[in-house]
């Protein structure tokens, strides 16, 4: 079985875009979430390629999501649901082979 890791840049970038464009609800959650995503992105800029291809930044992103978004937020705030759905999708951020 070949394991293909998702692209952490794609996952974090798309999550960041969703949060930025939804400026309506729960600003306190959003501001903290954006700040913590910025910290991950800054760390990724100077990370060794081996680290980017490891689970390290997915674990950091998981920590940010788990500490920022509650089950109630998932159920009531559309952007929170989008963020969780992207993070939980095992195929999100994997480039498909053009020959498939």
The predicted structure's pLDDT at residue 22: 80
| Mean pLDDT value of segment 75-92 | 93
Q: Is residue 3 in some structural domain?
A: no
Give pairs for 66-69: CB < 8 Å, separation 24+: 68/29, 68/32, 68/33, 68/36, 69/29, 69/33
Give the CA count within 13 Å in the CB-facing half-sphere of 70.
Answer: 5
CA distance 83 to 74: 9
Q: Is residue 77 in some structural domain?
A: yes
Q: Is residue 57 in some structural domain?
A: yes
Tokens of 62: 């998981």
Domain count, the chain: 1
Q: What range defines the domain where residue 21 resides?
A: 8-88
Is pLDDT of 27 > 80?
no
Q: Which residue carries 């949060």 as its tokens?
A: 19
Q: Is residue 98 in some structural domain?
A: no
The predicted structure's pLDDT at residue 93: 83
């Amino acid at each position: 079985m070949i394991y293909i890791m998702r692209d952490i840049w794609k996952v974090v970038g798309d999550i960041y875009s969703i949060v930025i464009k939804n400026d309506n609800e729960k600003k306190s959650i959003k501001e903290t979430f954006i700040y913590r995503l910025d910290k991950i992105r800054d760390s990724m800029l100077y990370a060794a390629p081996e680290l980017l291809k490891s689970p390290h930044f997915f674990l950091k992103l998981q920590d940010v999501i788990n500490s920022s978004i509650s089950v109630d937020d998932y159920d009531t705030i559309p952007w929170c649901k989008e963020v969780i759905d992207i993070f939980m999708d095992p195929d999100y951020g994997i480039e498909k082979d053009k020959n498939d």
